[in-house]
Structure 1
Amino acid sequence: MFRGERRAKILDLLDQYGRVEVDDLASRFGVGMDSIRKDLQALAKEGKCNRVYGGATRIGEKDEPPSPQPARSATQSAVPQMPSVPLSAEDAGRLAVAKRAYLEIHDGDSIFLDISRTNTFLADLIARGDKQVIVTTNMIEVLQKLSNLKHVTALGTGGYLNVQLNGFVGDTTISMLEPLLFSKAFIGASGVNLDLAAVTCNNIDSGSVKERVIHNASYKFLLADARKFQVKGLFRFASLKDFSAVVTDSKDPAVLDSLRRMGIPTYRALPL
């Protein structure tokens, strides 16, 4: 991406959310934070944004002073509130990833949610939100969460029901998916092997469905909580470079640097 294109996209994000952060932009565009700082300085000099500590705000937007209650950013407020219930560390990571993924969904999208624990959280957010979308899924739990909602058209793939996975897989499912096109697909994984740039799962039939969906989607988002970078699944169903972006809560510099070196846009998960 050329510098001018990146700056135009930064302005789009400012217009949408009111504020942007240097580290989030660096991860999103796969460049260093110094490059983003120069972008923001140039845009501020042109009178297109306000430069503030850690990022920039939209013209006319005030940078709020610190307060005892942590202020919610415009980005966070765009995400539906979830009930405050105790979560395991793993599920907290999945929810954080799902919240960031939700921001990539817009009215009119036709999306696919595959068999993934993270996608059950994303389905909860879609159900609680008001975005008018079509959701196709091969996961029973996701289908149950999104059925009978006015703002969601929920479609199940059908096919062979794998009780252990709680979803549809196999040749029939793939045949049903073949003619369907999606604007966005949100894909889970059992593990991510950074050395091989391999995205893996533990069920070959599920992996075949994921592979078909990736082929049929315009934008593909890999949902990978931090734990996934420490796990290697049995079957490789995609390369990291097959994805438009990785959504993760990982704070490991080695992981983030590896993704950046590969040129994979990385969207950092929202804090809970």
Structure 2
Amino acid sequence: MALNIRQMEILDIARASGRVGVEELAERFDVTLQTIRRDLGELADQGVLDRVHGGAVLRSGVSNIGYEQRRQMYSDGKAAIARACAAEIPDNSSIILNLGTTTEAVARELLNHRNLTVITNNMNVANILVANESCDIMVAGGALRRTDGGLVGDLTTEFMAQFKPDYAIIGTSALDIDGDLLDFDMAEVRVSRAIAGLARQTFLVTDISKLSRSAPVRIISMGQLDTVFVDQRLPDSLMQKCAEWGTRVIVAD
């Protein structure tokens, strides 16, 4: 079935923001709620969106959304998460920052911190923090992913194993309701697992949309984290599990 012009525009909006709402779309296109629901149903039938309560999200699968698209999605939420996370990082600290657009947002919030040592396998993080002249930056070796500036592979994991930083700040591509962090790339997952096991404290930075996505490879459980920074409250069942695990949850505002 060919998409009509409105449906193509809806898909463009979803690609830019990750999610679309029925009421917002009805107002934007000046059509009824039923018309938008029908559009979203047809887009779901085409395999490009997944219906959720009140709207739809980009369909998850076995491949990740493109880097530039991810960088623009939920930018306000990521900025709030990054501010909350950076506020927990004192000056004179050592930090590992891994791959992801949210960890890059954290790097931007660390530009005014003093005397940091940052270890990263994310070329974008290194390029952001080079503006902080009091920050020492150590970049891992490994295979460069041109799509997002990430360094992955055995060499990267071996490099990370040499350190025991104060904080590890990691991201995730998807989050399971059982509390598992998920990703798409096994090579990246190995690095993330190594990073999480090195630091004195491990932080997860993630927006709530990751709960509506799926990925095939498990990283670790939220029970292995010290703190989770998120832009909206987690579902009650997951909040309860975090309380049982002793994992602190900070909802950024």
For Structure 1 versus Structure 2, the TM-score category normalised by the shorter chain is 0.5 to 0.7
CA distance, structure 2, for counterparts of residue 171 and residue 252 of structure 1: 34
2:243 equivalent in structure 1: 260
Helix, strand or coil at the partner of 1:237: strand
1:234 equivalent in structure 2: 216
CA distance, structure 1, for counterparts of residue 134 and residue 164 of structure 2: 20
2:170 equivalent in structure 1: 187
- The answer to whether the 8 Å contact 2:223/2:242 transfers is no
- The answer to whether the 8 Å contact 1:194/1:258 transfers is no
Q: Does the alignment pair 1:200 with 2:182? A: yes
Q: Does the alignment pair 1:93 with 2:74? A: no
**Change over 3 Å in CA distance of 1:88–1:205 after alignment to 2:** closer
2:231 equivalent in structure 1: 249
Match of 1:158 among 141, 154, 172: 141
Match of 1:223 among 195, 201, 205: 205
Q: Which moved more, 1:159-168 or 1:214-223?
A: 159-168
What is the CA RMSD across the aligned residues, in angstroms? 1.8
CA distance, structure 2, for counterparts of residue 216 and residue 261 of structure 1: 23
Which segments of 5 or more consecutive residues in structure 2 lack a partner in the other structure? Answer: 1-70
Match of 2:194 among 163, 188, 212: 212
Helix, strand or coil at the partner of 1:216: coil
**Change over 3 Å in CA distance of 1:88–1:212 after alignment to 2:** closer
Deviations 1:84-138 (A, max 9, x none): xxx96611111111110001111221001100101111111111x1332101111
**Change over 3 Å in CA distance of 1:198–1:252 after alignment to 2:** closer
Give TM-score, length-normalised by structure 2: 0.67
CA distance, structure 2, for counterparts of residue 261 and residue 175 of structure 1: 33
Aligned-residue identity in percent: 23
Deviations 1:138-177 (A, max 9, x none): 1111111112532211110121111123110001111111
Deviations 1:2-44 (A, max 9, x none): xxxxxxxxxxxxxxxxxxxxxxxxxxxxxxxxxxxxxxxxxxx
Runs of 4+ in 1 over 3 A off after TM superposition: 255-263
The within-5 A match list for 1:110-129 is 110-127=94-111, 129=112
Q: Which moved more, 1:87-96 or 1:158-167?
A: 87-96
CA distance, structure 1, for counterparts of residue 187 and residue 72 of structure 2: 28
- The answer to whether the 8 Å contact 1:248/1:268 transfers is yes
The within-5 A match list for 1:135-150 is 135-147=118-130, 149-150=132-133
1:175 equivalent in structure 2: 158
Which segments of 5 or more consecutive residues in structure 1 lack a partner in the other structure? Answer: 1-86
- The answer to whether the 8 Å contact 1:259/1:266 transfers is yes
Amino acid at match of 2:101: R
**Change over 3 Å in CA distance of 1:252–1:181 after alignment to 2:** closer
Query: Displacement, 1:252?
Result: 4.8
1:103 equivalent in structure 2: 87
Amino acid at match of 2:162: P
